[in-house]
């Protein structure tokens, strides 16, 4: 059984302007996703794998390379596999790119925020 939650959800950081913008765009269109404050309730490795599958990207594309943890953990090492990158994101959720919108069995990274509209 899937670990993922409601079919329409937004992995959200309220301190991020892009994430706030994506949520506002959705609400303007009458979409009220389950809002997941992923820094407070981080996805585990299973949920991250499912998200990556819905996004159709590798773990490296979901990583925020500008975060201090990225440098401290040496995540720019090309020899690291998907498991290592997923484990790093599960342990350090600040590394997860935001926002991520899930709708209709697909997902998109909302950068720019208007990308969330691609799933509607």
Give me the catalytic one of 4, 8, 9, 16. 16
Please state, in angstroms and rounded to a whole number, the distance separating the CA atoms of residues 13 and 58. 22
Active-site residue, 68 included: no
What are the boundaries of each domain within the chain?
Answer: 9-119
Q: Specify the pTM.
A: 0.92
Closest CA to 8 of 109, 102, 91, 96: 102
Give the up-direction half-sphere exposure of residue 32: CA atoms within 13 A in the CB hemisphere. 0
Residue 78, CA atoms < 13 Å, CB-side half-sphere: 0
Note down pLDDT in tens along the chain; length 120 residues.
Answer: 345 566 899 999 999 999 999 999 999 999 999 999 999 999 999 999 999 999 999 999 999 999 999 999 999 999 999 999 999 999 999 999 999 999 999 999 999 999 999 999
Domain 9-119 class, CATH top level: alpha beta
Q: What is the pLDDT of residue 4?
A: 54
Residue 103: strand, helix, or coil: strand
- For residue 81, the 8-state DSSP code is -
């Amino acid at each position: 059984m899937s670990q993922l939650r409601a079919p329409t959800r937004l992995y959200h950081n309220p301190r991020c302007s892009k994430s706030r913008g994506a949520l506002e765009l959705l609400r303007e269109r009458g979409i009220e996703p389950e809002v997941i404050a992923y820094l407070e309730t981080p996805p585990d490795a299973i949920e991250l794998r499912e998200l990556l599958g819905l996004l159709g990207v590798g773990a490296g594309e979901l990583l925020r390379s500008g975060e201090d943890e990225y440098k401290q953990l040496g995540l720019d090492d090309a020899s690291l596999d998907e498991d290592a990158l997923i484990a790093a994101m599960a342990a350090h959720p600040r590394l997860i790119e935001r926002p991520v919108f899930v709708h209709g069995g697909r997902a998109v990274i909302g950068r720019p925020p208007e990308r969330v509209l691609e799933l509607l």
